Chains A and B, each alone.
Chain A
Amino acid sequence: MYQDQAMRDSIKLVEAARAENVKLDPRRMTADEKEKLLATYHPDYRREEFRVLEVGANKGDKVPTELAALLQGHSRLEGKTLDLTSPDYEADVLIIGGGGAGCSAAIEASRAGVKTLLVTKLRVGDANTMMAEGGIQAADKPNDSPAQHFLDAYGGGHFAAQKELLYQLVTKAPEAIKWLSELGVEFDKAPDGTMITTHGGDTSRKRMHAAKDYSGAEIMRTLRDEVLNRKDITVVDFTAAIELLKDEQGRCAGAVLMNMETKELLIARAKTVIIATGGAGRLHYQGFPTSNHYGATADGLILAYRAGARLLYADTLQYHPTGAAFPAQIFGALVTEKVRSLGAMLINAKGEVFMNPLETRDVSAASIIRECSDRGNGVKTPTGYAVWLDTPMIEMKHGAGTIEKRIPAMLRMFGKYGIDLRTEPILVYPTLHYQNGGIRIGNDGQSDIENLFVAGEAVGGIHGRNRLMGNSLLDVVVFGRSAGQNASAKAKTVTLGKSLNIDHVASYAKELKDAKAESDAVSPLLLPNYARKGTQTL
């Protein structure tokens, strides 16, 4: 139940128009309309929110101001002396990050028979993968093909994806689903085994596989369980990587780690390293709330950039169109796109349908921002303005019980605050959701630095400048697995150098100083600080 009178008045308009609205199939925007909408309303186009990098491999490129501060910030090792001669850990493959990509990589490394060390700054499975709700794409039905999947994703990403990476994503997708199924992931299926699939924003075929609206959680907990079943994977939790290490030939050869609780520094030496550190939502670009995990602070980008790797599309972020806008306790939390896949439409304060609810995420987000700003059709909330997502339409279209069966997490999330989405619409506004850009990789998953691989959200270029729903869960599995395979194969050929060094940290710091480009930040950030008046710093 909504208590606010203005919200209640607006709901009356939504309810009055529902019977007519539910019948509508609003036309999709043309390519020109989309382009203009994005340029005017999408946050990526607000020039004042970006800064040009002054040093490093992407010198001259613009990135979000908050990211620039970290990329051009101070190392946590500044002023510290380290003994690099007796490492605390030795491994063939070091994996930094314990989310979907890191765990997929670890399982493959274990299958390849190499000694694997997985470090993660929180617990294994504390990651954006765990929070993905709606599903995972794969073109495995007779009316679909990997080529069709490619076309959807390439166009949805504004034709900017690295074609060969996207080729890998779509052609390895069915195998990824099979691999997950064989690990025991419970996909939604019909009694005859046919996958129950839906649309995502701007997919041309229904290829979204799901496990209710706990798709990511189901995948993540299964991957975690498998990692823990494999004794040849050493998991070190509550331990962050704070710098990469190199050998005398400049190849990546390990990392400096920090115990998150005791702040003890530890040295890990490895033949190959995989960065699987995920996204950046907790940097709250442009002051947006986020749907991301507590640890999403772009750490891998900072480590790799300082070591000389190049970033790709670091200026493009995904704002998920439907973050929860009310109540304040869940401000920014993800309302899965599956709610729209199942038939809920976006409605403004006057009860009007203002767009097709299944446009790409960037277009949908920009359209909602337009509705709430220039058009003045938003519903006032304590944190700003929002539009309605008319969830009762779902059961009008698919019958009673659909919401509890298909999107139980959403029912629970709003139910905790007294809102029953079976009978009441919910308020949504864009939330910072995904880092489209990241570290550039080649077809083998290796960055510009030899023996440094990258997988998952930390990679840039797989999706271009916008990502479709369901292609990120897919990405972490496909590229996590291949990074694990390739890094293991490479590790078998690598002879470790005699010594380790962190010279690149000092030389990068000098470059920054010479360019007078140093920010005040200490990076990687590791965790956001939400303490109102605490004195602790990590």
Chain B
Amino acid sequence: MEKMVTIYLYGKKYEVPESLTIMEAMEYAGYQLVRGCGCRNGFCGACATICRVKGQTELKACLACSTKVEDQLYIATLPFFPLIKQVYDVEKVQPTQQIMMQLYPEIYSCVGCNACTKACTQGLNVMQYIAYAQRGEFEKCAEESFDCVMCGVCSSRCPAEISHPQVAMLARRLNGKYLAPHCDHLDARVKEIEEGKIEDMIRSLMDKPLEEIKELYNNREIEK
């Protein structure tokens, strides 16, 4: 018999096996989830959760899908958080500091408490990437925030009411579109295709009898 632990789902007590994740524990307790469950593997940010071990002061934030239960854990999920998502035209914005001032001016109210970083379920240095955003250093902001799953826990803890994941999303798109080095070989191939230059080669392959195609496939030279 597996060892059981006591947890509290929204304050209600349940006994569950200690090996389960918080998400599995909720299902073990009898919930069929609709909210607060997505990829079940740490990529989508649907299952942000706030926990506290009974008797301790520390509030912990985590993803329910990839965090194990522990004894005496109080659990409250945060399946939705009202982040501010500003609407913009990606073709018209420019990667300058002004765009942040215009769309997300609240980032300049950051008081430096670092609550966002402490709360991040991905272990990111959230306050640092906000600092980069403030200074218009979008490449650094993009890199520092890259692993963000946009669960919103950082924003729930922020006294300056910043929507960190959306700020980072904007920074990454600005970086990807305007700042990252341009890829010339991609443009060249797209142009070749538009001009029909690859057409003969692929059509002549497609039109070959199956046995010939098989022969070609089985004897391909594989790039080292």
Contact = CB atoms under 8 A, between A and B. Distances in A.
Interface string B19-39: 111001001111111110111
A529 B27 CA distance: 9
A234 to B, nearest CB: 14
Nearest to B166: A225
Contacts of B27: 530-532, 534
Contacts of A531: 27, 30-32
Contacts of B38: 122-123, 126, 130, 293-294
B77 interface: no
A198 B29 CA distance: 44
B190 A330 contact: no
B190 A186 contact: no
16 contacts: A130-B38, A131-B39, A140-B189, A140-B190, A152-B217, A194-B183, A199-B223, A205-B223, A212-B146, A294-B37, A328-B19, A329-B24, A412-B42, A412-B123, A527-B32, A531-B30
Interface string A301-337: 0000000000000000000000000001110011000
Interface string A410-450: 00110010000000000000000000000000000000000
Nearest to B85: A228
Contact of A147 (B32, B189, B198): B198
Nearest to B172: A186
Contacts of A226: 90
A181 interface: yes
Nearest to B66: A416
Contact of A409 (B37, B43, B89, B189): B43
A136 B37 CA distance: 26
A150 B176 CA distance: 28
A291 B43 CA distance: 12
Given A181-B186, A294-B37, A533 B43 contact: no
A138 B193 CA distance: 12
A123 B222 CA distance: 41
B220 A151 contact: yes
Top 8 closest pairs, chain A to chain B, by CB: A184-B173, A155-B217, A193-B181, A534-B30, A184-B176, A186-B176, A184-B177, A147-B202
B21 A167 contact: no
A222 interface: yes
Interface string A393-415: 00000000000000011001100
Interface string A153-180: 0110001000100010011001101100
Interface string A237-264: 0100000000000000000000011000
A238 B34 contact: yes
A238 B217 CA distance: 45
A362 to B, nearest CB: 15
A146 B44 contact: no
B39 A293 contact: yes
A532 to B, nearest CB: 5
Given A159-B214, A187-B180, A532-B28, 7 more contacts: A130-B44, A145-B202, A150-B202, A174-B190, A228-B87, A413-B66, A534-B31
B101 interface: no
Given A141-B185, A228-B87, A530-B32, A171 B202 contact: yes
A182 interface: yes
B118 interface: no
A373 interface: no
Interface size class of A (residues with CB under 8 A): 35 or more
B116 interface: no
B206 interface: yes
B147 interface: yes
Contacts of B44: 125-126, 130-131, 217, 293
Contacts of A155: 213-214, 217-218, 220
B41 interface: yes
Interface residues of B, number: 70
B122 interface: yes
Contacts of B221: 204
Contacts of B177: 181-184
A231 interface: yes
A380 interface: no
Which of A178, A329, A409, A532 gathers the greatest number of chain B CB atoms within 10 Å? A329
A531 B29 CA distance: 7
Contacts of B41: 131, 291, 330, 333-334, 413
A81 interface: no
Contacts of A125: 44
B146 to A, nearest CB: 7
Contacts of B202: 145-147, 150, 167, 170-171
A216 to B, nearest CB: 8
Contacts of B217: 151-152, 154-155, 159
Contacts of B37: 294
Nearest to B41: A333
A181 B183 CA distance: 9
A226 B172 CA distance: 13
A191 B181 CA distance: 6
Contacts of B42: 409, 412-413, 416
A193 to B, nearest CB: 4
A229 interface: yes
A351 B144 CA distance: 38
B210 A159 contact: yes
Contact of A163 (B149, B182, B206): B206
Interface string B156-193: 00000000000001001111110011111111011001
A24 interface: no
A192 interface: yes
A178 B190 contact: yes
A140 B173 contact: no
A536 interface: yes
B201 A145 contact: yes
A217 B165 CA distance: 14
A51 interface: no
Nearest to A537: B32
B206 A184 contact: no
Contact of A329 (B39, B66, B206): B66
A229 B87 contact: yes
